[in-house]
Amino acid sequence: MSTLLRRDLILGGLAAAAPAMQAAKRPNILYVFSDQHRASAVGAYGDPNVRTPTLDAFSKQGARFDVAISNTPVCCPHRACLQTGLYSNHHGVVSNGVRFTRKARGLAEQFRDAGYVTGYTGKWHIPAGYGTENGNPLGYPPDAVGGLTRGGDGGARAHCTMVNGKELYIPTILADNAVKFIQEKSRGSAPWLYFLSWLPPHSPYIAPPDYRSHYQANLKLQPNVPKGAPEDYTRKVLPDYYGMVESLDAEFKRILDALDRAGVAKDTIVCYSSDHGDMVGGHGYTAKRWPHDESARVPLMIRYPGRIRPGTVIADPFSTVDVYPTLASLAGLKAPTGIDGLDYSDLITGRKSIAPRDYAYLQMMYAYVPWPGWRAIRTREYTYARTGKAPWILYHTAKDPFQTRNLVDDPSSRTLLAEMDRRLAALMKESGDTWEYQATTGDYQQWMPGGAKLEVQQLGVPYPGSDVRGGGRKKRKKKR
């Protein structure tokens, strides 16, 4: 790993002096998120295997969202949605490495201009080329331009780095950065906003040894993991996947303890989430970019003492674009007009009992399902996705949480299927999304028929487009 890359990953304390403009101090905000951490891989969300005592306790100290959805479940698009409150077709980052096509006011810009000290450490992974009025990325300090990873998968393929001759776990280094930021900035009079982005439990699945061994026996697999190659794959990678999650749980405790020591726990909004999930063999698929819950549903827990009642559970769908306006409102700010996200603060603080909307809209232009990909809608009850050609999946997820029964071809579900299809078409029209949308930068060509990234799905389960050239499942006959 290069010196520059190590610096990109471990640089912390990315703080900027903010204007002293607030009459009364607003709450601090700490947003911690991991990469490829599916919601089901948390004890509080029902996983019988994983050990997450800190997250389980944290989930009871505020609100837990049971249906938090990544609008475009892959790294770059999610992070762009998070920072702008816009759907992927509106900001333009529809796949990894694809550049912004629209300038938007970033979350940190909004908070910075309201008097916040802003900071970020860890994986950035938003493409270069986003122009703001001061040249900084979305409102973070000038040194963030060189101190944040801006492409690839963060580069930390083994999740460790060498510092002064010692191999250190990068999540520990990033937690150290967060602890230092909390200690230093909590002494000042200005409120602060800080993001920490961990790479695990993203592949490669390599957990610290102390966290891996106790998952190697008696694993209880989800019922949607097919026998054969998918089950073999799942049993191989789950111990490390769970081990990485458990290691982050321990690092998260260190950060929460730092808030207590600094005396600011009661004055700080703390969120834990992820950019998207991981199929880990569910339905016979790998990684992300799928509309299924293992890929699209993420953990999301938020604590705000005195404002959010402990033990609150939100069953209504909530999506990435809603984070920006919700945090802004909780801090007494207004998100900019014209974004796709909605403010859920009244719902989670109990001032209202009805959510701003009853669905999450999902987009994936480039995936294992070749361009133009798929679009989906997730409600409390149902998950529906289609390609440009035809309906693909329909699950009654509330009754079938592992999504084992696809209702698309069920004659008794024709009325429901037609209703969900009409609703999805209306959402596409409302958001200005079309099946003709196509990127011109980034990795999109690798997801087209014949592209290299269509070859990695090799667990033997078909999906729309898997029969195209380069789709990875039709075996070519050997020439004699």
User: Are 378 and 359 spatial neighbours (Cβ–Cβ below 8 Å)?
Assistant: yes
At 14-72, the pLDDT tens digits run: 444 344 334 468 999 999 999 999 999 999 999 999 999 999 999 999 999 999 999 99
Which tops the pLDDT comparison, 458 or 298? 298
Q: What is the mean pLDDT of the chain?
A: 86
- Beta pairing, strands 192-197 & 28-34: parallel
What is the percentage of the chain residues whose pLDDT exceeds 70? Answer: 85
Q: What are the Cα distances from residue 139, in Å, to 91, 132, 187, 419?
A: 16, 8, 22, 42
> Minimal CA–CA distance to 92: which of 366, 294, 429, 385?
366
Contacts of 233 (CB under 8 A, 6+ apart): 281, 286, 459
Instruction: Kindly state the helix (H) or strand (E) to which residue 64 belongs, with its residue range.
Output: strand 63-65
Candidate CATH numbers 3.20.20.70, 3.30.70.980, 3.40.720.10, 3.30.360.10; the one for domain 3-359: 3.40.720.10
Where helices occur in 129-228 by DSSP H, the ranges are 144-147, 170-185, 209-212
User: Are 319 and 297 spatial neighbours (Cβ–Cβ below 8 Å)?
Assistant: no
At 327-362, the pLDDT tens digits run: 999 999 988 889 999 999 999 999 999 999 999 999
Least confident range of 169-178, 221-230, 469-478 = 469-478
CA distance 347 to 349: 6
Angle CA(339)–CA(345)–CA(351) in degrees, nearest 5? 135
CA distance 210 to 212: 6
> Which residues are paired to 274 by β-bridges?
34
User: Are 322 and 342 spatial neighbours (Cβ–Cβ below 8 Å)?
Assistant: yes
- Look at the pTM and tell me if it is higher than 0.95: no
Instruction: Kindly state the helix (H) or strand (E) to which residue 364 belongs, with its residue range.
Output: strand 360-364
Environment class of 31 (CB within 10 Å of its CB; exposed 0-12, middle 13-18, buried 19+): buried
CA distance 123 to 202: 12
170-185 and 3-10 are packed helices; what angle lies between their axes, rounded to 10 degrees?
Answer: 50
The domain limits of the chain are: 3-359, 361-439
Q: What is the DSSP string of 102-117?
A: S----HHHHHHHTT-E
How does residue 1 score in pLDDT terms, banded at 50, 70 and 90? very low
Q: How many CA atoms lie within 13 A of 337 on its CB side?
A: 0
Mean pLDDT score, 241-269: 98
CA distance 82 to 100: 14
CA distance 471 to 462: 9
Fold of 361-439: Arylsulfatase, C-terminal domain (3.30.1120)
Looking at residue 160, its pLDDT comes to: 87
Looking at residue 217, its pLDDT comes to: 87
pLDDT reading at 259 higher than 70: yes
Most confident range, picked from 123-132, 208-217, 293-302: 293-302
Residue whose tokens read 């987009």: 363
Least confident range of 122-126, 172-176, 454-458, 470-474 = 470-474
